[in-house]
Amino acid sequence: MTQASSSHSLPSRCTRREFIERGACALGAGVAVLVIGPAAVGSGSTATQPTATAPGAYDWTKHKYVYVIDTRKCIGCGACVRACTRENDVPPHYFRTWVERYQVSRTGDVNVESPNGAMDGFEPEVTGDDVTKAFFFPKLCCHCTNTPCVQLCPVGASYRTLDGVVLVDQKRCIGCGYCVQGCPYGTRFIHPVTHTASKCTLCYHRLTRGLTTACVQACPVGARMLGDTKKVGDRVAEIIATERVQVLQPELLTEPNCYYLGFSREAR
Amino acid sequence: MAEQAGYLFPNDLHILWMLMIVMYPYITGLVAGAFILSSLYHVFGRNELRPIGRLSLVASLGFLLFAPMTLMLHLGHPERGFNIMVTPNVSSAMAMFGFIYAAYLTLLLFEIWLVHRADIIVLASRSRGLLRTFYKVLALGVYDVSGEAKRIDHRVLVVLAAIGIPGASLLHGYVGFIFGAVKANPWWSTPLMPIIFLCSAIVSGIAMVVILYQIGMKFSGRRIDAPCMQSLARWLWLFVILSVTLELLEIMTLAYERAEEWTVIGPLLSDQLAFSFIGLQMVLGAMVPIILLGIVVLMSQYLSDQIRNTLCFVASLLLLVQVFAMRWNVVVGGQIFSKSLRGFRSGHSPGLFEKEGIILAVLIFVLPLLFIGLFNKILPVFERPESAEEAEGKQGLPAGAAPLL
């Protein structure tokens, strides 16, 4: 009884008036968090993003970009593909980045798909197979160090910047398509309107303003990461240095700068 | 939008190198093949090939002049095409095209001029007015047709033709290299590619000359030289056997090694390219001509001239189809499967009127033939008996010719 009375005595410290007051405050605070919260969080995340700077101040000798994709995190939502398309005005049915879905059955059959590059994500899994392993696999230009596309370009329109980005000079490209044939990863295409080679620029127009790429910014789960190996303590560079990462088709010795965490042998 | 089977990388849905890029190695192949044939006479002294010595050179020039049209029609920005020579990227296989082309064209023009020099002077002396001026311009101010001058001509010609052999081999070997050096594409990426291209180029060149020679003789009412045709058949037979053997060896190696790429190349050949590869390239275009030419080569003494000529003509026509099919299967075939090695897109059917369509392709094929006809109007492509005599050492101008200086 004593215990009971003592336990009963606890609420007795808080009068009904106080209870209502505290409850109202808590409710008010909750509502405030719900209403103002997203805006506050949004502004907070913007604040954590580097603010855009004038491209003139950019020094390409002070950067070396690398890209890491954690396939274990990717949920196949396609936000990156949509963001890339909007940011870079990519024509319909052409892709600077896309997401593949791999489904591996117990018998070893591999089903790969990327409906419209995963622009609208994926349908729920419909295969009747006994799927034992499934994963999403985003792709983009690997910005290879030893890149075949730059080697093949007959007029030098494809080039590699000092900060490690493979670009195409739209005013020089003659539209022969040799680079498109030479890219083992299928990341290049001839733009149907400009008739020149087009590809992922790693959003170079954003990088030179101190921003990250559209796809990295759009990824809701942080599966896509852009790093800078010339930045001291760079988190992404640290992943490449310390984790077991893999690149696409390493046997071709193109030395891609796009690394994958959670790589699986079915991916190509 | 193309139909697809299996998984293709999303950008692989679009075919990029179409009819004009098929035409490009085809036309340059005719250039190289015809030239190498001409060198059999000019350098290696196969005198039985004398009747086609000039024709093969002029045919080579004709096709060479129109070869860049295919590339220009293909380029997204043809107006920037010349940049390939102004700002070439020296690490690019394709960038060398302009230089090899220019060097080869210079050499070929010089050689053709030397071959026709005596005729130019004779024609200049026989003609009047504007035509005379025209031939005098062609003579480039050199009117010496003495025995000594002709001997020098001949010596220079042999040297030029000898340089021309590696030149022609380079021109076409390089076209094969453009494909063979693309490591991203397992159907193209093989060191055998330049050699295969070169062999099939010689096949197409000889076949084209056989056809042009027979048509030329028919139109001019002259007799087809039997030893020449027999020799052409022999060379053609040799090179088609070599060419098809190499083509098959490459595929057999891939299949036997059970390489990763065989998973797509196997179905590509047996299914996607069943008609153009098995039907045209291997059976109708290779097996049949090998049998027809085999008859000509092995049963020569039993054949009348007419049967020999007909067999050679039909075999040559089929071989022209074979080489075209081979180019098609390489260029288009290499784009039917995706670099994902997991899927195929539907084949490519060129339209009629588009930039890379059938009409323009046919035009590019016909224009060199018209050029050869026009050339023949200006300078004889087929040696006349009297000019043959001259070449044997008859000195000075023929009777009735007015002095030029």
Residue-wise pLDDT for B79-99, tens only, equals 999 999 999 999 998 888 888
CB atoms within 10 A of CB A162: 11
CA B405 – CA B397 distance, rounded (Å):
13
CB contact under 8 A, B89 and A155: yes
Q: Are the C-beta atoms of residues B338 and B10 closer than 8 Å to each other?
A: no
**pTM, 2 dp:** 0.87
Max Cα-Cα span within chain A: 93
CA–CA distance, B111 with B160 (Å, rounded to integer) = 7
Among A114, A155, A195, most B C-beta atoms within 10 A, so best to mutate, is A155
pLDDT in tens, chain B (405 residues): 567 889 999 999 989 999 999 999 999 999 999 999 999 998 888 899 999 999 999 999 999 999 999 999 999 999 999 999 999 999 998 888 888 889 999 999 999 999 999 899 999 989 888 999 999 999 898 888 888 888 898 899 889 888 888 888 888 888 999 999 999 999 999 999 999 999 999 999 999 999 999 999 999 899 999 999 999 999 999 999 999 999 999 999 999 998 888 999 999 999 999 999 999 999 999 999 999 999 999 999 999 999 999 999 999 999 999 999 999 999 999 999 999 999 999 888 899 999 999 999 999 999 999 999 999 999 999 886 554 444 444 444 444 445 555
* Positive or negative: CA dihedral A62, A64, A70, A76: positive
CB distance A181–B184 less than 8 Å?
A: yes
Which residues of B fall within a CB distance of 8 Å from A166?
A: none
Domain ranges, ordered by start, for chain A: 55-93+141-146+198-261
Give ∠ CA A112-A197-A194 in degrees, rounded to 5: 115
Pairing of strands A166-168, A189-190: unpaired
CB contact under 8 Å between A153 and B185, yes or no, is no
| Residue A109 C-alpha, separation from nearest chain B C-alpha, in angstroms | 12
> Is B237 inside any structural domain?
no
The CA distance from A55 to A112, in Å, is 40
CA angle B123, B227, B307 (to 5 degrees): 110
Is residue B79 one of the residues assigned to a domain?
yes
- Residue B156 resides in a domain: yes
Give the Cα separation of A257 and A140 in Å (integer): 11
- B65, part of any domain: yes
Confirm if B272 and B328 have CB atoms less than 8 A apart.
no
CA distance B95 to chain A (A): 4
pLDDT in tens, A123-149: 987 666 688 999 999 999 999 999 999
Q: How far A159 CA sits from the closest chain B CA (Å)? A: 10
Q: Count of domains in chain B?
A: 1
Q: List all residues of chain B from 195 to 234 with a beta carbon under 8 Å from chain A.
A: none
- Identify whether B67 is part of a domain: yes
Kindly provide the ipTM of the predicted complex, given to two decimals. Answer: 0.89
Which chain A positions have a beta carbon within 8 Å of B17's beta carbon? Answer: 177, 181
B15 in contact with A, Cβ within 8 Å: no
Residues of chain A with Cβ-Cβ distance to B5 below 8 Å are: none
A224-228 β-sheet, strand order = A224-228, A65-70, A258-261
d(C-alpha B323, C-alpha B30), whole Å: 10
Domain A55-93+141-146+198-261, CATH? 3.30.70.20
Residue B87 lies in a domain: yes
Contact B359, B352 (CB under 8 A): yes
CB pairs under 8 A between A and B: 126
In angstroms, the CA A239 to CA A227 distance is 9
Residue B55 lies in a domain: yes
Please check whether residue B220 lies inside any domain of the structure.
no
- Which structural domain, as residue segments, surrounds residue B36? 19-181+349-397
Task: Classify residue B294 as exposed, middle or buried by CB count within 10 Å of its CB (0-12, 13-18, 19+).
Answer: middle
Q: Which amino acid is at B14?
A: H
